[in-house]
Amino acid sequence: MLNASLKQLSALLADGKVSSVELTQTFLDRIEQLNPSLNAFITVDREKSLAQAKTADELRAKGGACPLTGIPVAQKDIFCAQGWLTTCGSKMLHNFVSPYDAHVIEQFNRAGAVNLGKTNMDEFAMGSSNETSYHGKVKNPWNQETVPGGSSGGSAAAVAARLAPAATGTDTGGSIRQPAALTGITGLKPTYGVVSRYGMIAFASSLDQGGPMAKSAEDCALLLNAMAGFDSRDSTSLEREKEDYARDLAQPLQGLKIGLPKEFFAEGLSADVAQRVEEAIAEYRKLGAETVEVSLPNSKLAIPVYYVLAPAEASSNLSRFDGVRYGHRAPEYTDLLDMYCKTRAQGFGSEVKRRIMIGTYVLSHGYYDAYYLQAQKLRRLIAQDFVEAFKHCDVIMGPTAPSTAFKIGEKSDDPVSMYLSDIYTIAVNLAGLPGMSVPCGFGGNGLPVGLQIIGNYFSEAKMLNVAHQYQQATDWHTRMPEGI
Ligand code: GLN
């Protein structure tokens, strides 16, 4: 059952071979057993999850089931869920019980899915290793001395260790795709605006996007069917017709044009990752695809541009955490200003403070034009590169991350080397494009490697088709860490 696809689980539930209560119990037991070492979950609430499972079983008995009814899904702790502790991995929100549901949570509830618990993450989704969480580091189930990637590392570790059949993540610069790659699972960041950000704690609003993390592309399609859709409460949510993201999964790939950006296969990419990605591309050729070289000449600017724009937006978004309305408040202070200062000094971790300082600096009078405005112009050029590239291909492929999972602590004192973990993913967010990561083998150290698939705007169904056909021909996505 641990390796079953969502479709298989749905069929077992429909045939009455297992109830949602039993299924949820199985995963809760696994969490109880394995979470103390992995630290993938921040909050588990047996009673709440089992009550939801019971309701799902009743709904099914009445004939009102959808494909996800009764399926347990782990939720990244960035999504507000009514009655659940929602901390965003920060001391600032260590005591915040959300009074409302995020749109994504509402959608899962509507589908009858079960909230299996809240997963660990880098504080306010800032990080690539899940080492900055107030709740402690998450371990990579493939090798517990290594990081699972970040910031959705709890969700990634949970799915990889089969503590959950599926999970949600969010991706501002790579936080779904990079941890998916480092833990050998499949993750998709949709086109900006496809999944509502309502109730998803804001990091950098023009880049943040929620998406599915699961064992396979087929599972991601089912999850995205529930997550996507217009929501008037998010001003950047796009009003588009409802799509079935699983509709094209079975299409053959004959004639598919894959663009290979020459900048993605250059300096900085580790040899074993390069080799696995090339083997995956060879597999695509066998499936009938053709490859063409494309160029993303401005992609080298993506990291500097992102580290101006994301902190700028974060410094503004995080100003709401002042000890007045919710979350942490310094226990002792002399006046209002002192309360703000002490609350924020105590509540935020050092990476979050670094971003707030950078963001405040680049937005300040005198520096706005030199940094913020300049970065906005470069963002447009980066997006334009993709428009050019997609004139010559249907999808773009390359590595998701430059290396396999690194050791815990290895990059903690070197923020720039940490930021480089997202070198292949960040440009996709700046352009607002959809991107996904699919497991494509193992590096020299036995750790998973991810293949990145980047699609044109709104081509999620096509990308899932491209990923699914590869997963029909290979079995990397079915591999499980040993001893787990
Ligand atoms: N690692 C990047 C950062 O630290 C991206 C994080 C994300 O996508 N949420 O900002």
* Gap from CA of 16 to ligand 1 centroid (Å): 42
* Gap from CA of 419 to ligand 1 centroid (Å): 8
* Preceding omega of 151 cis (within 30 degrees of 0): yes
Report pLDDT digits (tens) over 57-91: 999 999 989 999 999 999 999 999 999 999 999 99
* Cβ contact 295:262 at 8 Å: yes
Residue 395 lies in a domain: no
Residue 366 lies in a domain: no
- List of residues 6+ apart from 5 with CB closer than 8 A: 215, 216, 218, 219
Residue 27 lies in a domain: yes
Query: Is the beta carbon of 179 within 6 A of some atom in ligand 1?
Result: no
d(CA 184, CA 52): 29
Taking residue 444's Cβ as centre, other Cβ atoms within 10 Å add up to 11
Residue 272 lies in a domain: no
Containing structural domain, residue 40: 6-256
When pLDDT is averaged across residues 404-424 and rounded to a whole number, the result is 94
Closest Cα to atom 10, ligand 1: which residue?
126
The CATH number given to whatever domain includes residue 178 is 3.90.1300.10
Report pLDDT digits (tens) over 13-47: 999 999 999 999 999 999 999 999 999 999 999 99
pLDDT score for 99 = 98
When pLDDT is averaged across residues 387-395 and rounded to a whole number, the result is 98
Is the C-alpha dihedral spanning 55, 57, 58, 60 positive or negative?
A: positive
* Gap from CA of 426 to ligand 1 centroid (Å): 8
Query: Is the beta carbon of 128 within 6 A of some atom in ligand 1?
Result: yes
Residue 437 lies in a domain: no
* Gap from CA of 180 to ligand 1 centroid (Å): 13
Report pLDDT digits (tens) over 167-216: 999 999 999 999 999 999 999 999 999 999 999 999 999 999 999 999 99
In this predicted structure, the answer to whether residue 159 has a pLDDT above a threshold of 90 is: yes
When pLDDT is averaged across residues 279-288 and rounded to a whole number, the result is 98
Residue 308 lies in a domain: no
* Gap from CA of 58 to ligand 1 centroid (Å): 40
* Cβ contact 301:380 at 8 Å: no
Query: Is the beta carbon of 171 within 6 A of some atom in ligand 1?
Result: yes
In this predicted structure, the answer to whether residue 405 has a pLDDT above a threshold of 90 is: yes
Q: What is the best residue among 79, 122, 124, 128 to mutate for testing ligand 1's pocket, by most ligand atoms within 8 Å of CB? A: 128
Residues above pLDDT 90, as percent of the chain: 97
Query: Is the beta carbon of 131 within 6 A of some atom in ligand 1?
Result: no
Query: Is the beta carbon of 310 within 6 A of some atom in ligand 1?
Result: yes
Residue 176 lies in a domain: yes
Q: Which atom of ligand 1 is nearest to the CA of 127?
A: 4
Report pLDDT digits (tens) over 211-268: 999 999 999 999 999 999 999 999 999 999 999 999 999 999 999 999 999 999 998 9
For the chain, first and last CA: distance in Å?
Answer: 14
pLDDT grade for 295, boundaries at 50, 70 and 90:
very high
Query: Is the beta carbon of 169 within 6 A of some atom in ligand 1?
Result: no
d(CA 43, CA 31): 11
Angle between helices 217-227 and 460-473 (to 10 degrees): 160
d(CA 407, CA 156): 17
Estimate to the nearest angstrom the gap between the alpha carbon of 303 and the chain centroid.
18
Query: Is the beta carbon of 422 within 6 A of some atom in ligand 1?
Result: yes
Write the single-letter amino acid at 47. Answer: E
pLDDT grade for 484, boundaries at 50, 70 and 90:
confident
pLDDT score for 315 = 98
Closest Cα to atom 5, ligand 1: which residue?
173
d(CA 333, CA 431): 44
Distances (CA, A) of 230 to 45, 103, 194, 206, 301: 30, 10, 7, 17, 32
Residue 311 lies in a domain: no
Number of domains the chain contains: 1
Is the C-alpha dihedral spanning 371, 376, 381, 386 positive or negative?
A: positive
Report pLDDT digits (tens) over 329-368: 999 999 999 999 999 999 999 999 999 999 999 999 999 9
pLDDT grade for 5, boundaries at 50, 70 and 90:
very high
Taking residue 158's Cβ as centre, other Cβ atoms within 10 Å add up to 35
Report pLDDT digits (tens) over 115-154: 999 999 999 999 999 999 999 999 999 999 999 999 999 9
pLDDT score for 75 = 98
pLDDT score for 1 = 87
pLDDT grade for 483, boundaries at 50, 70 and 90:
confident
d(CA 76, CA 334): 36
